[in-house]
Amino acid sequence: MPHPFADKLFVFIGNPTRCSRQSARDALVNVGGVQEERYSVYTHYTVAFSGAEKTKLYEKATERDRFGQTVMLTEDQFFNVLEGKVVPPERKQPPRDPNVIVFPPKDPAAQERAHEEAVSDAVSRKRLTNMARYGVSMPDGSRMKADLRPLDMAIRFDKFVAAQIEQFRKGIAVTLETLKSKPINEKAVIKGLATYNVGDVIEYQARSETEYLARVSDEINMRTVILEFTRDGLDLKSYSCGCSTNRRSGLVCKHIVAAVLAIQGGVAETKVTLGKTATVITTVDMTNTAKAVGSGSLDVFATPMMIALMERAACEVLNGALASGQTSVGTSISVNHTAASPVGATISATATIISVSGRKIDFDLTASDGDRKIGDGKHTRMIVENKRFMERLKK
């Protein structure tokens, strides 16, 4: 015979293990799904031990018991059920709102069907006016009149949130270059592509507008992936996976790659690729010396002009790689100028993409005077929309 409390979720107010009865400690072994001083929608019973009446949790439990959301048991009632003296009490019927009009019940089967139709109508926002006027069919056979405007607003809000989430999901476009730029397992992108292509991403769901949960099959195991995208949908703000490699090191694994591809519906195309490079050349003359631009007093190649040449090389890397109406703006640069170049020298600057994080592009910079290296550095540029960028400047 099954235990009366088997597979029930409990909240204990007070400490049952300090109870004077040894039977408490023995009997609790037979009680499944015990929770301590916290509620969930799955809670079945609340047991209040000695001294619990002084706690706020007791007041909360009493209110939940009054509305039939949990069953309150005293210490003695709990032990009486455990010892088989009484059966566990059932939940109470919640009190009716005095403003609700209840009509006599009709045929139960017909009322059950009417209730299901009413719920369906409410979800689809059909006939809300008539339902408010004539009442809503209840499972017990009654009809209830109530103000359904809050329900209508709730449905409107849910639909608005769902539309926002779907609109955001359509804008998610994390490129493979962005994934490769993060700390990543060897061959994770190749294996993630294969996992996505064979359909091993079982399901995914939105937890909020930017946060998603996905379940990815990995042979006999199921991996849970949690992803949070940036507001523009072009990068990952945070990520985690249940696989041992990711849990140990925080790397992007094949499950994360596959989940990203499933959510955004495939590989996001891009011409901004890691390792892409460009070189620009200039000649030192009297217009770009340190003396001419005011960064020194000698007729040698000016550091500001070397920086400008390096930045021009970075722009050249992105030339033709951006969408129509887009450009890039520099956000940071760190440069070392290690050797001087006289008038007449030919200077070349090279920029190479080393990292992509959505709209943010990082470059490695070098400058040379013939075969001699004269400078190096790092540079970051952001991809922006021309029109929006200029409009924001005017505000």
- Residue 38: pLDDT over 60: no
- Residue 32: pLDDT over 50: no
Tell me the CA end-to-end span of the chain in Å, nearest whole number: 75
State residue 144's pLDDT score.
62
- 289, 311, 350, 379: which is the annotated catalytic residue? 311
Q: What percentage of residues in the chain have a pLDDT greater than 90?
A: 44
Mind listing the pLDDT tens digit for each residue in 201-220?
888 988 888 999 999 988 77
- Residue 150: pLDDT over 70: no
Radius of gyration of the chain (CA): 34
Mean pLDDT of the 215-244 span: 88
| Of the listed ranges 32-36, 205-209, 254-258, 353-357, the one predicted with least confidence | 32-36
**What is the average pLDDT value for the chain, to the nearest integer?**
82
DSSP for 139-198, written as a single string:
TTS-EEE---HHHHHHHHHHHHHHHHHHHHHHT----HHHHHTSSB-TTHHHHHHHHHHT
| Of the listed ranges 16-20, 157-161, 191-195, 242-246, the one predicted with least confidence | 16-20
Mean pLDDT of the 259-269 span: 93
Residue whose C-alpha is closest to residue 291's, from 279, 303, 274, 308: 303
Q: How many whole angstroms separate alpha carbon 57 and alpha carbon 8?
A: 19
10-82 and 277-394 have identical folds: no
- Residue 311 annotated in active site: yes
Q: What share of the chain is helix, strand, coil (3-state, %, to 5)?
A: 35, 30, 35
pTM beyond 0.85: the answer is no
- Which residue, chain included where needed, has tokens 């059920």? 81
- 282, 303, 327, 385: which is the annotated catalytic residue? 303
Task: Give the Cβ contact number of residue 148 at 10 Å.
Answer: 18
Residues 6 or more apart whose CB falls under 8 angstroms from that of 17 comprise 24, 25, 28
Mean pLDDT of the 368-381 span: 95
Beta strands in 75-125 (DSSP E): 101-102
Q: Is 225 exposed, middle or buried (0-12, 13-18, 19+ CB in 10 A)?
A: buried
- What is the distance, to the nearest Å, from the Cα of residue 88 to the centroid of all Cα atoms in its chain? 42
Cβ atoms of 329 and 290 closer than 8 Å = no
Cβ atoms of 316 and 352 closer than 8 Å = no
Mean pLDDT of the 119-142 span: 59
Cβ atoms of 339 and 368 closer than 8 Å = no
Residue whose C-alpha is closest to residue 39's, from 19, 67, 3, 18: 67
Q: How confident is the model at residue 131 (pLDDT cuts 50, 70, 90)?
A: low
Mind listing the pLDDT tens digit for each residue in 297-338?
999 999 999 999 999 999 999 998 998 999 999 999 999 999
- What is the distance, to the nearest Å, from the Cα of residue 193 to the centroid of all Cα atoms in its chain? 21
Mind listing the pLDDT tens digit for each residue in 175-188?
999 999 999 988 99
Mean pLDDT of the 160-171 span: 87
- Residue 255 annotated in active site: no
Mind listing the pLDDT tens digit for each residue in 45-85?
888 877 778 788 888 888 888 877 788 888 888 878 777 78
Residues 10-82, CATH architecture: 3-Layer(aba) Sandwich (3.40)
Cβ atoms of 174 and 257 closer than 8 Å = no
Residues 6 or more apart whose CB falls under 8 angstroms from that of 364 comprise 351, 352, 354, 376, 378
- Residue 293: pLDDT over 70: yes
In the chain, domain spans? 10-82, 101-170, 176-264, 277-394
Is residue 116 helix, strand or coil?
helix
User: What CATH class does 277-394 carry?
Assistant: alpha beta
- 228, 316, 337, 385: which is the annotated catalytic residue? 337
Mean pLDDT of the 226-232 span: 93
State residue 35's pLDDT score.
46
Q: How confident is the model at residue 157 (pLDDT cuts 50, 70, 90)?
A: confident
Per-residue tokens: 240: 């985690």
Cβ atoms of 252 and 182 closer than 8 Å = yes
Mind listing the pLDDT tens digit for each residue in 270-281?
999 999 999 999
Q: What percentage of residues in the chain have a pLDDT greater than 70?
A: 74
- 369 versus 111: which is more confidently predicted? 369
- Residue 59 annotated in active site: no
